[in-house]
Structure 1
Amino acid sequence: MSEHVRRWRHATVVLALSGAAAVVVVAPATPASAAVPGLVRISAVSATNSTDFKTVTATCPAGKVLTGTGYEVNGAAGEVIVDDLRPNGGPATAPTSVTVGAYEADAFAGNWSLTGYAICANPVPGLVRATVTSASNSNDFRSAIVSCPLGKVLTGTGYELNGATGEAVVDDFRPNGGVAAAPTALTVEAYEADAFAGNWSLTGYAICANPVPGLVRAAVTTATNSNDFRSAVAVCPAGKVLTGAGYELNGVTGEGVVDDFRPNGSSIAPPTAVTSGAYEEDAFAGNWNLTSYAICATA
């Protein structure tokens, strides 16, 4: 074989190998992992009857942890107050379930039920539950601000009214943060729904984790008027999923009841939005509105 042919074949082999290397370099990258993998919504429903008090616990599937909470009162249309929305867990233990408790605000003859919602995910690094409890006395108003431990962010929320048994209502349940800022704290405020002589207190619960990619807070506010009912749906931005939520009643100071606080999704689909619905508990002539908050992370 001539020297010219040998050199031509050698050059061809080198070019082929170079082309193969180029193909490897430009191959599509593996998609990024979800910020909160395995996210689903679990529900549990109480019996339907006319009993004054209902409680239900929604528990995450084995191997998953609780990132957020929700509830729904079915059939009572403002006559029932959710007294407890209590995630389990602690300052060194990840929550795995939420207990919801509700009382009739006034005697109500109709049948009603209570649904508890647990937003659950595969284990999330650093997930814990933080708490703050207000003073216990007979004042008309309570406020509790619970902040995540330093370096952690807020994925979900909860509260508990202690000693009021249907005579106090949560008016604000507000995560901080914004469209470009991760929430890190929760403000919970409550008023007596009717005059109540007993002592009571308010506990705020924050579900917190190590920084979560893309975590933000979205918000939607209804019109302001004197209608009896409000509903607001807060939807996560495109490409994000719902880890938790909150709400705020503006201008009604104890006369409004959030009847629905319902994340969408299912046991096989991640939530991406939350619906908050509120009724006047008693006739109220003033103007008021409702804000729904969604806590969202990268899908």
Structure 2
Amino acid sequence: MRQQKESRRFGARAAVLLLGLTAAAVVVPASPASAAVPGLVRVTTTSATNSNDFHTTTATCPAGKVLTGTGYELNGATGEAVVDDLRPNGGPAVAPTAVTVTAYEADAYAGSWSVTAYAICANPVAGLVRVSATSVNNSNDFRSITAACPAGKVLTGTGYELNGVTGEAVVDDFRPNGGAAAAPTSVNVGAYEADVTGLNWDATAFAICANPLPGLVRISALSASNSADFRGITATCPAGKVLTGAGYEVDGATGEAVVDDFRPNGGAATAPTSDTVGAYEEDAFAGNWFATSYAVCATA
């Protein structure tokens, strides 16, 4: 909190005494806490709405801003489409500035639908880069791969890409590490085949990483566990923090549930502070399952 200096008037004698004081007696106002990610906003773009099998769209940060996190939303498909790619641009020495979302129908679907991409953007962040790691490529039912930030950096946001399955696999785990008192430094992507396929495929995890940020933590929230068709859960940053990125996890469904919504709040002039995860069963599933929403949060 900024300290306020009280203004006083001094007489001539007092002024002479004041000039004789040492520098150690001078009171200096405390500096306010610095925002970890100044200029934070959420940018949105949506694909065409139709009954095509494939939809894609790219959300790009405003000029002068960089991408700290990602999100998406499937509109109108309610479990009948899956996001195959949530791909930030950038690289190991280049700050990301945009995210591309690609989605396929999981089964033939006659209805019209679309996909929305969300980009969480901020003024330039020191040391911001995008790193990636790719799993083995084969026809196994399950993939797991972790992208870890370079030494000395922390995780602000996440992304993934499924290669070779075009709607036949779903991301079950999209989990940043860290905790309520620990900054995340990596993201794990776990994916299952939604239906049996003989295709060879692999998964790529993307980590958006930066130099350490004030107050960075990972918050989580769990939905109810039951056999209902839909789950919705929101993870909210603690007071005084803002959302730089997010993740999710589906437990108990092993490829039978699709995360339809991975939606940060906020807007073009408003910093996001929470992330909502919504998941549907892709096929009828009798077992109990639940969803977890993860929020990566830093000092506002």
TM over 0.5: yes
Q: Which residue of 1 aligns with 2:122?
A: 121
Match of 2:27 in 1: 25
Q: Which residue of 2 aligns with 1:98?
A: 99
Q: Indicate the percent of aligned positions where both proteins have the same amino acid.
A: 72
Deviation at 1:25, TM superposition (A): 2.6
1:145 aligned partner: 146
Distance of 1:208 and 1:291 partners within structure 2: 22
Counterparts in 2 of 1:121-200, with a 5 A limit? 121-200=122-201
Q: Distance in 2 between matches of 1:13 and 1:139?
A: 83
Letter in 2 for 1:279: Y
Which residue number in structure 2 is paired with residue 4 of structure 1?
Answer: none
- Given the superposition, is the C-alpha separation of residues 142 and 15 from structure 1 closer, same or farther in structure 2, using an over 3 Å criterion? same
Residue 81 of structure 1 aligns to a residue whose secondary structure is strand
Instruction: Return the offset for 1:31.
Output: 2.3
Provide the C-alpha distance between the structure 2 equivalents of 1:104 and 1:237, rounded to a whole number of angstroms: 36
Q: In the TM superposition, what whole-angstrom CA distance separates every residue of 1:33-52 from its partner, at most 9, and x where no partner exists?
A: 21011110001111111111
Hey, what does 1:274 align to over in structure 2?
275
- The runs of 5 or more residues in structure 2 that have no matched partner are 1-10
Render the CA deviation track for 1:55-107: whole Å, top value 9, x for unaligned: 00000011111000000001111111000000000111010000000001001
| TM-aligned CA deviation for residue 22 of structure 1 | 12
Q: Deviations over 1:218-245 (max 9, x none)?
A: 0000111000000010000110000000
**2: distance between equivalents of 1:191 and 1:10?**
81
Instruction: Assess, with a 3 A threshold, how the Cα gap between structure 1 residues 16 and 95 changes in structure 2: closer, same or farther.
Output: same
- The 1-side partners of 2:84 and 2:56 are apart by 10
| Number of equivalences | 289
Find the aligned partners of 1:22 and 1:51 in 2 and give their Cα distance.
73
CA shift for structure 1 position 288: 0.3
Distance in 1 of aligned mates of 2:42 and 2:33: 22
Task: Select which of 13, 21, 26 maps to 1:11.
Answer: 13
Q: Secondary structure at the match of 1:11?
A: helix
Structure 1 residues 11, 284: CA separation in 2 closer, same or farther (over 3 Å shift)?
same
Where in structure 1 are there 5+ consecutive unaligned residues? 1-8
Cross-structure match for 2:233: 232
| Other-structure match for 2:88 | 87
Deviation at residue 32 of structure 1 after TM alignment: 2.1
Residue of structure 1 equivalent to 2:76: 75
Kindly name which structure, 1 or 2, has the bigger radius of gyration based on alpha carbons. 1
* Alignment deviations for residues 170-216 of structure 1 (CA, whole Å, 9 cap, x no partner): 00000000000000011100000001111110000000001111000
For residues 201-240 of structure 1, the aligned pairs below 5 Å read 201-240=202-241
Summarize deviations over 1:103-143 as a string: whole Å, max 9, x none.
01001111111100000011111111110001111100000
What is the one-letter code of the residue matched to 1:42?
A: V
For the residues of structure 1 that align with 2:217 and 2:84, how far apart are their CA atoms?
A: 27
CA distance in 1, matches of 2:79, 2:279: 7
Shift of 1:14: 3.5
State the AA in 1 paired with 2:90: G
Q: TM-score, normalized by length of structure 2?
A: 0.93
In structure 2, the residue matched to 1:249 is 250
- Partner SS for 2:109: coil
Q: 1: distance between equivalents of 2:124 and 2:214?
A: 15
The corresponding residue for 1:258 is 259
The secondary structure found in structure 2 opposite 1:202 is strand
Q: Describe the SS at the equivalent of 1:233.
A: strand
Which whole-Å CA distance do the structure 2 matches of 1:97 and 1:23 have between them?
A: 51
Greater percentage in helix: 1
Q: Output the amino acid matched with 1:179.
A: A
2:273 paired with 1:292: no
Q: CA deviation at 1:144?
A: 0.5
